[in-house]
Amino acid sequence: MTKDNFLELLAETIDTEMELEETTLLDEIDEYDSIAVLSLMSLYDELNVKVSPRDFENLKVVADLIELAGEKIE
């Protein structure tokens, strides 16, 4: 999956209309909350990436979410 595909899927998953970029601060995304984290955990599960709620605690920008997906993102 490309970064652009992931960014689109990420926006859909957290149900935001905001255009996401790697430098977007997670705090600036109104929809990024505990429910969004649960939805993202499901997304990562579909990508066969094991994550826990703690993995999201120190993330600051969208690039951190991309990095969390690891080699699943080209």
* Identity at 72, one-letter amino acid code: K
Q: CA-CA-CA-CA torsion for 19, 39, 15, 22, nearest 10 degrees?
A: -10
Domains of the chain, start order: 3-72 (1.10.1200.10)
What per-residue confidence (pLDDT) applies to 29? 97
Q: Is the pTM of this model over 0.75?
A: yes
pLDDT tens, position by position, 11-40:
999 999 999 999 999 999 999 999 999 999
Taking the C-alpha atoms of residue 14 and residue 11, their distance in angstroms, rounded to an integer, is: 5
What per-residue confidence (pLDDT) applies to 70? 92
What per-residue confidence (pLDDT) applies to 66? 96
Q: How many helices (H) and strands (E) does the chain have?
A: 3, 0
